[in-house]
Amino acid sequence: MSKYFHIMTGLRGCYMPDNAYVIRVDTRRELKAAIEDEARLCRDSGFVGCSKSAVASLAAAAWREAHKRNPSIYPHVAPYGSRDNRHSAIHVSTATRAEYLEFESA
């Protein structure tokens, strides 16, 4: 059964992310691959954080949340940034099929 997720990157605690989209995945492996693509962009930009283990933990937490009877709308987060300040993050939260279809039609 397909699950839907919001994936956003940007400053932590801000209302408007730098990048946001909704995806449909059938497996946790597909979700992890999508998050890893975002993490690779962060690491290639010179930021620290978003290691492979952090990505795996983020994917597992989001996948578990999506399988709950009443999933939370709040995102799970993998922070990244400079060595002293992890000011940005990859945010992953559950989405609905309607949100996915709306995103695809836009």
Q: Which domain holds residue 94?
A: 3-105
Residues facing residue 22 across a β-bridge: 6
Which residues, 6+ apart, have CB-to-CB distance to 58 below 8 Å?
A: 35, 76, 77, 78, 90, 92
Q: What is the residue-averaged pLDDT of the chain?
A: 93
Q: In whole angstroms, what is the distance from residue 106 CA to residue 91 CA?
A: 21
Q: What is the mean pLDDT of residues 92-105?
A: 96
Domain count, the chain: 1
C-beta atoms surrounding 44 within 10 Å: 8
**Which pLDDT tens digit goes with each residue over 82-95?**
888 888 999 999 99
